[in-house]
């Protein structure tokens, strides 16, 4: 039986945008074991002199994460940053209200900046616009970014940091549209506060970039009006608007689940439309871009989290154990950012270690790669350069929530400096392999370097500390002849087809 075929055209002149590397960002919140037992565990055999786990550092470096959002998340809306600086023995323990745990404050702003340097990353800092506001934000940015000679900059120097941290990207609060948020605000309330906070922060450091809070998901009843109202106030003062979205497969309908990246694409297009409506309304020449600073699969741990004892320290919260089908959807979500890289400039997989994360650890034990680690690592490694429009045709299917779902989901990136082209593709077909024909005639003199495949006959296969059941191989079947790549994409598979200039 002949394989069904899909076709794409990959042309170096069909450019979407130069890709901002920050779309491969991530997120560490003071939540569960993300910090304590994740990035920081002083008693661990692999801990360095500062208490950071070296095995985790190596895995994060393998992902090549350019920016990490911190310290929250829901947690930031009742967080006093002053609790986390200065001598550790003087730091207070606090009730952490978002997740109802005890925050020890052993790790704070300075320690996190130190850790980010160890993993070759920048910090994306969030300010508390829940219980606090303008004053706290101006003090924090003075502490972080002002050279010296003032109260808060000299306090940083007293704490052992002579040079400023120069944090350049700042979030004006977190999910302020959510009734669950400490200090939840209407769009009008939030917009006014965010604008005044932005103005003050820019007075302290005019070189920063600012992110205004958009809706915390496309399912919010106030979406997208909340975004529009917030932007009415903040448009001239900020650079980005935030988007958050998580997906799950609670109904165990894999065909429908793998189509959910189409929902993400629609979410992005709607927010772009909202931004551009406010741009037109204000007759502005400025364009607001998107910071998709929380995204992932999140549903496996929901029942388990209901059993956690309140007011414990660093309990195992939101510890989703990801399976193979989750990795396929994560691959499609990453490709969605590439296809929209003209407007999506920052994206943060939430989160990085232990909490809905690609990296898991045992307290005192091993660190290992979850299934979703691999598509993240591949796109971060080979998705640098220019995103290309892939003109495509594919057989399609209908699912419970989606119609005309292409079996082939694809994206392409051209790295001119390295003379490399990479085609990323997911075969969503659960029973059959598909043949992909990719017209790459504009890349004369190129050859196939590698065809990486992530596949598994068990959609529910997971990785553990002792078994890597889901991991990629480089035995993909593809040929390049007369400017056309012919590739066989296994059923339900993630594929990375790398082309390079013949030497």
Which three-class secondary structure string do you get for 223-287?
CCHHHHHHHHHHCCCCCEEEEEEEECCCCCCHHHHCCHHHHHHHHHHHHHHHHHHHHHHHCCCCC
> What tokens appear for 431 in the block?
């029973």
The residue among 350, 287, 375 whose CA lies nearest residue 17 is 287
Instruction: Dig out the tokens for 27 from the structure.
Output: 């997120």
424 in Cβ contact with 385 (< 8 Å): no
CB 128 within 8 A of CB 78: yes
Q: For residue 2, is pLDDT > 90?
A: no
- Residue 108 is given by DSSP the state -
From its phi and psi, is residue 236 left (phi > 0), alpha (psi between -120 and 50) or beta?
A: alpha
Yes or no: say if 357 and 376 are a contact pair by the CB < 8 Å rule. no
Average the pLDDT over each of 30-39, 203-212, 303-312 and give the range with the smallest value: 303-312
Query: Residues 447-462: pLDDT tens digits?
Result: 999 999 999 999 999 9
| CA–CA dist 37, 28 (Å, integer) | 12
Residue 383: pLDDT above 80? yes
Tens of pLDDT, residue by residue over 76-92, are: 999 999 999 999 999 99
Bridge partners, 212 (sequence order)? 172, 241
**Preceding omega of 224 cis (within 30 degrees of 0):** yes
Task: Supply the residues annotated as catalytic.
Answer: 175, 294
pLDDT of residue 223 exceeding 90, the answer is yes
Phi then psi for 85, rounded to 5 degrees? -130, 160
- Residue 307 structure tokens: 């059993």
How far is Cα 189 from Cα 163, in angstroms, rounded to an integer? 36
Q: Which of 94, 55, 54 lies closest to 71, judged by CA? A: 94
CB 349 within 8 A of CB 379: no
Q: Are 152 and 139 in contact (CB under 8 A)?
A: yes
pLDDT tens per residue across span 327-351: 999 999 999 999 999 999 999 999 9
81, 137 Cβ separation under 8 angstroms? no
Buried b (16+ CB within 10 A) or exposed e, 364-388: eeebbbbbbbbbbbbbbebbbbbbb
**Residue 418, both tokens:** 């390295």
**Res. 37: pLDDT tops 70:** yes
Sequence-ordered alpha helix ranges (H) in 89-224: 109-118, 134-145, 151-158, 187-204
- In sequence order, what E strands does 312-385 have? 344-350, 359-361, 367-369
Q: In the block, which residue shows the tokens 């529910």? A: 460
CB 58 within 8 Å of CB 118: no
Per-residue buried b or exposed e for 255-267, using 16+ beta carbons within 10 Å of the residue's own CB: bbbbbbbbbbbeb
354 strand-pairing partners: none
Instruction: Please give the pLDDT value at position 45.
Output: 97
Residues contacting 155, CB < 8 A, separation 6+: 85, 86, 143
Whether 387 and 339 have beta carbons less than 8 Å apart is answered as yes
Res 1 pLDDT > 90: no
* Residue of 39, 36, 16 lying closest to 26 (CA atoms): 39
Q: How far apart, in whole angstroms, are the C-alpha atoms of residue 150 and residue 219?
A: 45
- Which residue, 299, 334, 318, is CA-closest to 454? 334
C-beta pairs of 185-190 under 8 Å, 24+ apart in sequence: 185/129, 187/222, 187/225, 187/226, 187/229, 187/230, 188/229, 188/233, 190/129, 190/230
Tens-digit pLDDT profile for residues 347-366: 999 999 999 999 999 999 99
Structure tokens at 448: 């196939």
Structure tokens at 133: 């506001």
> pLDDT > 90: what percent of the chain?
98
Peptide bond into 71 cis (omega under 30): yes
What is the predicted pLDDT for the residue at 3? Answer: 87
Identify the band that residue 287 occupies on the pLDDT scale cut at 50, 70 and 90.
very high
Over its C-alpha atoms, the chain yields an Rg (Å, rounded) of 23
Q: Are 362 and 465 in contact (CB under 8 A)?
A: yes
* DSSP-assigned letter for residue 90: G
Helix (H) or strand (E) holding 50: none
pLDDT score of 498 more than 80: yes
According to DSSP, the β-strands at 386-393 and 408-415 are antiparallel
The helix (H) or strand (E) run that includes residue 38 is none
pLDDT in tens, 394-413: 999 999 999 999 999 999 99
Give per-residue pLDDT as tens, 112-147: 999 999 999 999 999 999 999 999 999 999 999 999
Residues 15, 29: Cα–Cα separation, whole Å? 35
């Amino acid at each position: 039986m002949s394989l069904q075929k899909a076709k794409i055209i990959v042309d170096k002149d069909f450019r979407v945008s130069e890709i901002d590397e920050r779309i491969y960002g991530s997120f560490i919140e003071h939540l569960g074991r993300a910090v304590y037992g994740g990035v920081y565990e002083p008693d661990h055999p692999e801990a360095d002199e500062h208490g950071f786990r070296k095995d985790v550092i190596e895995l994060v470096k393998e992902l090549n994460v350019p920016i990490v959002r911190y310290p929250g998340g829901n947690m930031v809306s009742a967080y006093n940053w002053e609790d986390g600086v200065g001598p550790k023995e003087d730091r207070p323990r606090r009730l952490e209200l978002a997740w109802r745990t005890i925050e020890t404050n052993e790790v704070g702003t300075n320690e996190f900046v130190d850790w980010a340097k160890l993993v070759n990353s920048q910090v994306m800092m969030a300010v508390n616009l829940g219980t606090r506001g303008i004053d706290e934000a101006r003090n924090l940015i003075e502490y972080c970014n002002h050279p010296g000679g003032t109260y808060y900059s000299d306090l940083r120097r007293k704490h052992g940091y002579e040079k400023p941290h120069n944090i350049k990207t700042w979030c004006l609060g977190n999910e302020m549209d959510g009734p669950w948020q400490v200090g939840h605000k209407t769009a009008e309330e939030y917009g006014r506060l965010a604008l005044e906070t932005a103005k003050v922060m820019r007075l302290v450091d005019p070189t920063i970039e600012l992110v205004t809070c958009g809706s915390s998901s496309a399912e919010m009843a106030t979406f997208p009006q909340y975004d529009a109202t917030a932007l009415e106030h903040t448009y001239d003062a900020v650079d980005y608007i935030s988007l958050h979205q998580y997906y799950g497969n609670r109904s165990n309908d894999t065909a429908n689940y793998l189509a959910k990246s189409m929902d993400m694409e629609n979410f992005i297009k709607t927010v772009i439309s909202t931004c551009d409506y406010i741009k037109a309304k204000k007759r502005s020449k400025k364009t607001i871009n998107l910071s998709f600073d929380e995204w992932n699969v999140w549903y496996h741990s929901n029942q388990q989290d209901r059993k956690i004892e309140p007011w414990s320290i660093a309990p195992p919260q939101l510890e989703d154990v990801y399976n193979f089908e989750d990795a396929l959807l994560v691959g499609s979500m990453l490709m969605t950012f590439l296809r929209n890289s003209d407007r999506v400039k920052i994206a943060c997989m939430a989160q990085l270690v232990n909490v809905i994360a690609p990296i898991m650890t045992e307290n005192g034990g091993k660190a290992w790669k979850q299934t979703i680690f691999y598509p993240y690592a591949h796109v971060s490694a080979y998705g640098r350069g220019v995103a290309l429009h892939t003109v495509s045709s594919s057989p399609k299917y209908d699912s419970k929530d989606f119609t005309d779902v292409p079996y082939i989901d694809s994206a392409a990136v051209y790295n001119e400096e390295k003379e490399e082209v990479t085609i990323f593709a997911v075969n969503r077909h659960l029973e059959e392999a598909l043949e992909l024909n990719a017209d790459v005639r504009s890349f004369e003199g190129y050859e196939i370097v590698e065809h990486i495949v992530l596949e598994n006959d068990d959609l529910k296969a997971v990785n553990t500390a002792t078994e890597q059941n889901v991991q990629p191989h480089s035995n993909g079947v593809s040929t390049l002849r007369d400017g056309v790549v012919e590739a066989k994409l296994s059923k339900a598979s993630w594929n990375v087809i790398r082309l390079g200039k013949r030497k």
